[in-house]
């Protein structure tokens, strides 16, 4: 019983300490664009349709200038492949799961807080199977990605800010596990976004 009381007291102390450090956590919701560069290789040309989506994130401010964050994003686009076999199209849900460190930059404008970020994660391409956007044998595929970016927050109040951000992903082009769609090359996706941040 005594051990249980000690554990409860320790958990309560940690909770009080977390509340005392108010303003260290942030949750963001942003609308995004998803623009991918064409890739070439193995006799194939790959193009991706331009689309939009959203991303949600959690950021923990370690101190005044350094933060760690994790993000999940969702977009849907169609990968188009052109080669000796003609044209193939695979419509897929694109899920991005990333982690990064953000460094805040000093700026004399009081309400604006710019930052740069770098990290990594993965993109998961999941075919929808919809007619006109499916190739037999295409399967879900994950690709590791390097992430970089920059953005700025505009403080509205103690708990709310507006955020504008740019993220770039560098990764190997998806082929959905099919040799006929392989380019064996790297590509780049630009993801501009804007949204709102809640700080607590």
Q: Are 56 and 74 in contact (CB under 8 A)?
A: no
pTM over 0.95: no
CB 140 within 8 Å of CB 125: yes
Q: Within 10 A of 50 (CB to CB), how many other CB atoms are there?
A: 12
How is residue 110 written in tokens?
């009081």
Residue 134: closest CA among 187, 179, 178, 173: 178
Which tens digit of pLDDT belongs to each residue from 1-60?
A: 555 445 555 555 544 444 445 679 999 999 999 999 999 999 999 999 999 999 999 999
Question: What is the per-residue pLDDT across 119-160, written as a single tens digit (0 to 9) for each?
Answer: 999 999 999 999 989 999 999 999 999 999 999 999 999 999
Q: What is the pLDDT of residue 22?
A: 60
| Domains of the chain listed by start with CATH number | 25-199 (2.40.160.20)
DSSP letter (8 states) at residue 15: H
């Amino acid at each position: 019983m005594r051990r249980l009381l000690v554990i409860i007291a320790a958990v309560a102390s940690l909770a009080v300490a977390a509340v005392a450090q108010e303003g260290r956590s942030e949750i963001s919701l942003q609308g995004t664009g998803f623009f991918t560069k064409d890739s070439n290789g193995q006799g194939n040309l790959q193009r991706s349709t331009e689309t939009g989506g959203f991303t949600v994130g959690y950021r923990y401010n370690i101190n005044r200038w350094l933060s760690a964050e994790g993000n999940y994003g969702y977009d849907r686009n169609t990968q188009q492949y052109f080669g000796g076999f003609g044209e193939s199209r695979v419509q897929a849900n694109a899920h991005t799961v990333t982690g990064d460190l953000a460094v805040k930059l000093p700026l004399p404008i009081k309400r604006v807080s710019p930052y740069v970020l770098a990290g990594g994660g993965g993109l998961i391409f999941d075919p929808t199977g919809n007619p006109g956007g499916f190739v037999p044998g295409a399967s879900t595929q994950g690709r590791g990605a390097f992430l970089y970016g920059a953005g700025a927050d505009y403080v509205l109040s103690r708990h709310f800010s507006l955020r504008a951000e740019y993220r770039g992903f560098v990764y190997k082009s998806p082929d959905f596990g099919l040799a006929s769609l392989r380019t064996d090359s790297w590509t780049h996706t630009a993801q501009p976004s804007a949204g709102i941040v809640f700080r607590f």
